[in-house]
Structure 1
């Protein structure tokens, strides 16, 4: 299959399928934990201004196949040396084929090019596929794995882009307490 990677913005109509599908996914996966899951998912999708995901501090990509947006993701500045991955998504029909891994790789390449040396992200405890993706692409869990994931709610990960596998450079990203349900 031939995929086209497009650097764009959240405001581009080509991004709309990704953003709409993510909102539905977040709402459905966390419905039993948030009575207002649709409103919470909408709020999450609007939390950051589109400019956060644009150069020089961020990036947003979509992956298109046969004119259809089938994947994508973004990063924004977390701190001066750290990019924060957000909005990683693949169309349900494209999962388990390496597309999310491609998205993460492409975002890491852009982060390095923009001067970041590490990456931070969080995923939800109801997203085991994402957890597996990050573990399989060299991300270090920045949470106590002996505690049930639902206690954490949000699971933070980090990766040193200059020296993958190095963990001492990630210590300041470790949270002192579980990232439980947002207030």
Structure 2
């Protein structure tokens, strides 16, 4: 199972991120996140924040999930649901939206203190439902990492590959 240290090791080994690009949140930033959510955030998410909460190179760079974007994701998800579901679907009680892509899709877990590594749910604009991915928080992060690792295996260091053209590495 993926955890904080293996996550960092794989980011670096796959060249998805350089060591200096992997930036965790400070304890005061994590406190701000916890206070803003007013929910008992699970340990798996807090571990992620400590190791990569402010960025991890190219890993999921196009997704709003890093500090301090996550502070407003629940509000943005509610707006997305208002626009696309017109009041027919609302976020569950204790939902914590931890990732949003392009304002049309988001991931969340239930932060009720019952799990240190909770199941993740997915919403895509106009679906009319939340989909239980039947994966934990770290499972979802690992699934994304596998995709990024595969993209980098395919593109290698070719400066003309789509993934490298799209990202200006330091």
* TM value normalised by structure 2: 0.34
Higher helix share: 2
* TM value normalised by structure 1: 0.33
